[in-house]
Amino acid sequence: MNGALVRELYEKIDTFPIVDIHTHVQWKTPAARDIGQILSYHYYTELANSAELQREPFPLDDTAELTRVILPRLAPLRHTVQYDWLMTISRELLGLGAEEWEPENWQYIYDRSLEVMDRPEWREELIAQCNLAKVLLTNQYDEDLDGIDSSFYVPCLRTEPFVVGVEDPREREALGAFLGRAIRTPQDLDAALDKAFQRFVAHGMGYAALSSPANLVTAYVGQDEAQRLLDRLVAGERLAGEDQRAWRAYAISRVCEACRRYGKPYHLMIGVDRGVYAQGVPSGRDLFDSVNSLRGYDYLFNTYWDVRFPTSALSDTSGLELTAAAWIRHNVYPSGHWWYTNQPTDMAREIRRRLDVVPANKLIGYYSDAYYLEFILPKFRMYRFELALALAERMERSLIHPNMEPFMLDDALEVAEDLLLANPARIIGLGEA
Amino acid sequence: MNGALVRELYEKIDTFPIVDIHTHVQWKTPAARDIGQILSYHYYTELANSAELQREPFPLDDTAELTRVILPRLAPLRHTVQYDWLMTISRELLGLGAEEWEPENWQYIYDRSLEVMDRPEWREELIAQCNLAKVLLTNQYDEDLDGIDSSFYVPCLRTEPFVVGVEDPREREALGAFLGRAIRTPQDLDAALDKAFQRFVAHGMGYAALSSPANLVTAYVGQDEAQRLLDRLVAGERLAGEDQRAWRAYAISRVCEACRRYGKPYHLMIGVDRGVYAQGVPSGRDLFDSVNSLRGYDYLFNTYWDVRFPTSALSDTSGLELTAAAWIRHNVYPSGHWWYTNQPTDMAREIRRRLDVVPANKLIGYYSDAYYLEFILPKFRMYRFELALALAERMERSLIHPNMEPFMLDDALEVAEDLLLANPARIIGLGEA
Amino acid sequence: MNGALVRELYEKIDTFPIVDIHTHVQWKTPAARDIGQILSYHYYTELANSAELQREPFPLDDTAELTRVILPRLAPLRHTVQYDWLMTISRELLGLGAEEWEPENWQYIYDRSLEVMDRPEWREELIAQCNLAKVLLTNQYDEDLDGIDSSFYVPCLRTEPFVVGVEDPREREALGAFLGRAIRTPQDLDAALDKAFQRFVAHGMGYAALSSPANLVTAYVGQDEAQRLLDRLVAGERLAGEDQRAWRAYAISRVCEACRRYGKPYHLMIGVDRGVYAQGVPSGRDLFDSVNSLRGYDYLFNTYWDVRFPTSALSDTSGLELTAAAWIRHNVYPSGHWWYTNQPTDMAREIRRRLDVVPANKLIGYYSDAYYLEFILPKFRMYRFELALALAERMERSLIHPNMEPFMLDDALEVAEDLLLANPARIIGLGEA
């Protein structure tokens, strides 16, 4: 590692404003109010629970108490990247050094966090300090978007309610309430999608999004078949096996049709197995399956050739499959590094793979997946450091590589800008917002 | 990276003549006639199509026009290894620097390429300049081999026609025409194989080859069962599911029998899914499946214990499985780095794995998979650089590693020579040619 | 690579005593008697067989002859890590430099080895020289443990006889003989397990252990169903498919119940396919499947939430899945680097992954899997070197990483001590022994 060069590159990349194309930030309460909210992020509760089983639920609603409870349990996490994120928040946003993070200091840390974060001007200071330019959200179809500052927040439509949700009577009923009539026919589903897209487009919609289980298979399913499946759902039956697969394949296609009509991308996040860990904390119960074929998306990518599919895969074993898909398919765009692959080791490999063989205009470098704005900066720094490392390595290789033209600092920064700014804007169409 | 050491190693390795054990070079027209033919290689058309969908087919038959059309579309590929290959061809074979590659220069580049390449002496100059010693081909069973210079070109028999092709009436008919009687019985298949092997052996045959889909399962299938399946094919039925698997397993075994009889290796290229991308350019429609078990080859490797199987796997997820197979199995030889794994990131990992645990006499370092002789040099350089890097790293580790004896420059070069020259010659039997 | 720093770190880590949590050492004859026994280890016979097929069985019972036969066949293995282990044994334990390892020297090497190893004091000298503190064994339920020095050797119970063995009449009979009555009911199985655990606990039991095939699925199976399956076995039937899966799932659960009762961990070694290579040497016939989902263990991990599961996976494709499981699950502990992943390339990746995201108190760094005490030192050195490299890299990153606090030599050594000493002791409960 050429430390000086990495640092030089990193520092230049770190001056870029942040465009964060996938978060779970709530636009009305985007920033944490205190350090307890930061610690309530599942990355900390799940690691504390992993280090030592938490028999009683964590006091997630009492952030002071949560701070008191979590602090002594952070010791075994000190060498994790998740802890590093926390320290960056502490050091740079709260002005508290890592040495303060001792259990007996919990009240001091909590009070200090309130002092900083619980001020009306905090949100704007935070945005300025972190140089955040645009934050994309993940929104429910009926979520209140009135008054959203769409020059900064970009709403993106969760499509699970239209795909998986319809199978659940309560969720289907809610969707019917949103539409103004019960969901009884494929046309009703289309109408609900249409209404949602219209609402979102009116507020500067980014894209539609779906997180899907391992080995999902998309396929053509006709309207008659869809009607038959919907009839069974309405009759109170539960779908399973092939029927469930058929319904979901149908519904996903209808989302694609809407994406096509409205010219919006469909962001796929592939491969999460929900709720598999019984003793997990909230949001800390999901894993993935290393056995995960992307072959199931061929139908979708081929049929909706005019829809852009920014795509993330949760399993490391899907990394080269995704790279290869983006290498030849015109409408697949590798997007960031999701969740369990969002750590230096797997990120480093995927960055290099993608840079080596995928057209540079197709790569979306990173998104934070953050729940609060505070997490965006440390997570982007983790990525930017790995990117700087990969680019520095490439610069050094180019000096002695028999096939490579010189790859200089400016070339490296151009690539970084493509990945972090130009591509997200163009692929998602943020210029339109 | 110890740049000086890598460079020193690379430069020594670069003096080796090239033995390229797998290409798609046409022996009668082995070199490109102009830069348009180079650009017609699917690596460029598919990347151009991936960077921006090409709605009309590329003008593949009009190489000047193709040059004009492709050139402006190369910009987003500038940081790919595929572009690096092109620049090496341009710089070293055509004498055109990378700075010339601007869209407005297309005619100049095209003309210059004609000037260099469209000369009768070009082929021999190219061979000399690139230090090519032996080029193995991929040939149809009935391809004209008369007059082939078998001191340089080594024909290798594509066996897909005997395995998959038999299922297709037209291909079966062609095979019958080659044999001199229709393919009606398992004996006819054997006779056709025999005739093909005889022809190839007479021209210095290298090996038989097969590229196979993900999760192929080999197994014993009796002659009666094979007759039954062939009868159905002859009767115009299409095989599917278990029947198709059984037929293919049978036919593959018969190829192995022929390999055994003639003492020739069977080169397996495992895991391609053909034609999955609908909007792809010619040869740019295939992908692979990360879910790919090599367990399906156990029968083959065990039963044909006296046949050598140089083996490539397309998926990164098969890399360690292949290494482990070569670690214990006497007749499995990891061969090169195929297609989607033919890039620095995955190559680097596999080189290290193989060197660490597989006997050094079992490794075939690299092949180019080239369509024109011009591609061999840049592709080998990509590999040789990664090999030099791995060997340099090993030299440096040996200085401080508690288990390792000193691994010096001469040791490194001996390993390189094994991988690039001695092993290919011995494993494939090129000395016999 | 910062060679000086790696070496400094390595040398400090190398002063740690060795706690080896998984071996196949025989406690009555733990050390080799001569170099032929060392060479009889399947790592050497299988590599010799892989480099060149051995048609006659190796003379495993005549260690002088084996030495003579194997020595000339080591040349192609010279660059493997397995050969490096041998050289460390030769250099440091026998005082023979690598240059002595020439075929014509076989008698000299053999004699010298006898001279050193075939002395009564050898075992203790070896333990002292290698700084071995504790060696965990793999024992059959009825193995003689009387007189075992349980301050040094820790017996661990192989549970295959209770899971897979019961399906085999002879093994079932042996288990009945151990219990004192035939195995006819689920209660008999429990009683046999209980008797075995009691014996082992009386001798300082470490844990129960299981090596399992790829894609094992655990699940709830009721006692009535188990009785029905056992009845069929007793009636002489063979179980297959779903029935076999159900029986194994049942039996594994019963082992977990015993682990729970006795407060002992269950060490899982996941993903070996036994006996797949027909021409393999003894213990050199097993491979793994890259298609291997850990999802099948969800039931076990959830249900036996109060049992600790140190877990190894044989396939590289399971690496991140195991890391992610340990990241959120409180009772899954990544344990070492098993067999085909026990080489620098895959080890390096897993070390980094685990350190980055799993609580530091959950990681068991390494075990040797050794058959003789002599192998422990070189194998641990291989790991310690990779660990030193990862920690040195982390130290260097911390100096320029925007999210990291300084990670100094003392921090690195603390992590190393956790992985190599503190965690194995606490997770397995070696303090109790």
With a cut of 50, say whether residue C341 has pLDDT above it. yes
Question: How far apart are alpha carbons C209 and C266 in whole angstroms?
Answer: 6
pLDDT level of residue A432 (50, 70, 90 thresholds): very low
Chain C residues 95-154 within an 8 A CB cutoff of chain B: 98
Segment C170-220, tens digit of pLDDT = 999 999 999 999 999 999 999 999 999 999 999 999 999 999 999 999 999
How many residues can be counted in chain A? 433
Q: Distances in Å between the alpha carbon of A8 and those of A391, A410, B3, B240?
A: 11, 12, 20, 59
Distance, in angstroms, between A217 CA and closest chain B CA? 13
B197 by Cβ neighbours in 10 Å (0-12 / 13-18 / 19+) ranks as: buried
ipTM metric? 0.97
Residue C253 contacts residue B280 (beta carbons within 8 Å): no
With a cut of 80, say whether residue C47 has pLDDT above it. yes
With a cut of 80, say whether residue C432 has pLDDT above it. no
Question: How far apart are alpha carbons C215 and A66 in whole angstroms?
Answer: 39
Longest dimension (CA), chain A: 69
**Residues paired with A273 in a beta bridge:** A287
C359 shares contact with chain A (CB less than 8 Å): yes
* Closest alpha carbon within chain C to B303: C278
Segment B98-113, tens digit of pLDDT = 999 999 999 999 999 9
Predicted pLDDT of residue C1 = 85
C136 by Cβ neighbours in 10 Å (0-12 / 13-18 / 19+) ranks as: buried
Residue with tokens 């983006």: A326
Listed as own residue / partner, the contacts of A48-51 with beta carbons closer than 8 Å and 24 or more positions apart are: A48/A73, A48/A74, A48/A77, A49/A279, A49/A280, A49/A281, A49/A284, A49/C328, A49/C330, A50/C326, A50/C327, A50/C328, A50/C329, A50/C330, A50/C358, A50/C359, A50/C362, A51/A76, A51/A77, A51/C330, A51/C359, A51/C361, A51/C362
**Residues paired with C157 in a beta bridge:** C139, C208
Segment B208-227, tens digit of pLDDT = 999 999 999 999 999 999 99
Question: How far apart are alpha carbons B54 and B282 in whole angstroms?
Answer: 12
Closest Cβ–Cβ partner in C51, C78, C345 for B356: C345
B274 shares contact with chain A (CB less than 8 Å): no
**Residues in chain B closer than 8 A to A292 (CB atoms):** 290-291
**Residues in chain A closer than 8 A to B13 (CB atoms):** none
Chain B residues 385-404 within an 8 A CB cutoff of chain C: 393-394, 396-397, 399-404
Give the whole-number percent of chain C exceeding pLDDT 90: 99
* Closest alpha carbon within chain C to B307: C53
* Average pLDDT for chain A: 97
With a cut of 60, say whether residue C433 has pLDDT above it. no
Give the whole-number percent of chain A exceeding pLDDT 70: 100
Sheet strands (E) in C67-198: 132-136, 153-154, 157-158
- Model-wide pTM > 0.90: yes
Give the whole-number percent of chain C exceeding pLDDT 70: 100
Classify the phi-psi angles of B219: left when phi > 0, otherwise alpha if psi is within -120 to 50, otherwise beta: beta
Question: Two tokens at C303?
Answer: 């249900």
Nearest CA to A346 among A294, A427, A288, A415? A288
- State the alpha helices, DSSP H only, in B329-375: 344-357
Residue with tokens 């692959």: A341
Question: Two tokens at B162?
Answer: 């005997």
Distance, in angstroms, between A26 CA and closest chain C CA? 25
**Residues in chain B closer than 8 A to A302 (CB atoms):** 276-279
Best of A215, A289, A300, A329 to mutate (most B CBs within 10 Å, chain B): A329
**Pairing verdict, β A272-273 and A287-288:** antiparallel
Nearest CA to C412 among C379, C375, C382, C387? C387
Q: Reading across the β-sheet that carries B18-20, which strands appear in turn?
A: B18-20, B132-136, B153-154
With a cut of 70, say whether residue B432 has pLDDT above it. no
Distance, in angstroms, between C289 CA and closest chain B CA? 6
**Residues in chain C closer than 8 A to A52 (CB atoms):** 330, 361
Query: Which helix (DSSP H) or strand (DSSP E) does residue A398 occupy?
Result: helix A376-400
What's the average model confidence in pLDDT over B387-404? 97
What's the average model confidence in pLDDT over C33-61? 96
Q: Are A402 and B277 inside 8 Å of each other by CB?
A: no
What letter would DSSP give residue C418? Answer: I
Listed as own residue / partner, the contacts of A97-102 with beta carbons closer than 8 Å and 24 or more positions apart are: A98/C405, A101/A71, A101/A74, A102/A71
Closest Cβ–Cβ partner in B293, B323, B403 for C291: B293
Q: What type of residue sits at position B128?
A: A
Q: Distances in Å between the alpha carbon of B1 and those of A400, B92, B397, B410, C4?
A: 11, 26, 12, 19, 15
How many residues can be counted in chain C? 433
Residue C376 contacts residue C130 (beta carbons within 8 Å): yes
Segment B80-103, tens digit of pLDDT = 999 999 999 999 999 999 999 999
Closest Cβ–Cβ partner in C51, C288, C346 for B361: C51
Question: Two tokens at B408?
Answer: 């010096």
What's the average model confidence in pLDDT over C413-417? 98
Segment B225-261, tens digit of pLDDT = 999 999 999 999 999 999 999 999 999 999 999 999 9
Rounded to 5 degrees, φ, ψ at A41 are -55, 135
With a cut of 90, say whether residue B433 has pLDDT above it. no
Q: Are C273 and B295 inside 8 Å of each other by CB?
A: yes
Distance, in angstroms, between C72 CA and closest chain A CA? 39
Chain B residues 216-235 within an 8 A CB cutoff of chain C: none
Classify the phi-psi angles of A366: left when phi > 0, otherwise alpha if psi is within -120 to 50, otherwise beta: beta
What's the average model confidence in pLDDT over A390-416? 97
Residue B292 contacts residue B338 (beta carbons within 8 Å): no
What letter would DSSP give residue C318? Answer: G
Listed as own residue / partner, the contacts of B96-100 with beta carbons closer than 8 Å and 24 or more positions apart are: B98/A405
A78 shares contact with chain C (CB less than 8 Å): yes
Q: Are A287 and C325 inside 8 Å of each other by CB?
A: yes
Count CA atoms closer than 13 A to B236's CA, side-chain side: 0
Nearest CA to C239 among C174, C170, C165? C165
Question: How far apart are alpha carbons A96 and C175 in whole angstroms?
Answer: 62
What's the average model confidence in pLDDT over A53-63? 96
Q: Distances in Å between the alpha carbon of C13 and those of A341, C89, C221?
A: 30, 19, 46
**Residues paired with A209 in a beta bridge:** A158, A267
* Average pLDDT for chain B: 97
Question: How far apart are alpha carbons C109 and C67 in whole angstroms?
Answer: 9
Q: Strand, coil or helix: what is A30?
A: coil
Residue A49 contacts residue C330 (beta carbons within 8 Å): yes
pLDDT level of residue C293 (50, 70, 90 thresholds): very high
Q: Distances in Å between the alpha carbon of C59 and those of A15, B262, C52, C83, C413?
A: 68, 33, 16, 20, 45
Predicted pLDDT of residue A409 = 98
Question: How far apart are alpha carbons C26 and A402 in whole angstroms?
Answer: 54
Question: Two tokens at B118?
Answer: 């469209």
What's the average model confidence in pLDDT over A217-231? 98
* Closest alpha carbon within chain B to A1: B1
B291 shares contact with chain A (CB less than 8 Å): yes
Query: Which helix (DSSP H) or strand (DSSP E) does residue C272 occupy?
Result: strand C272-273
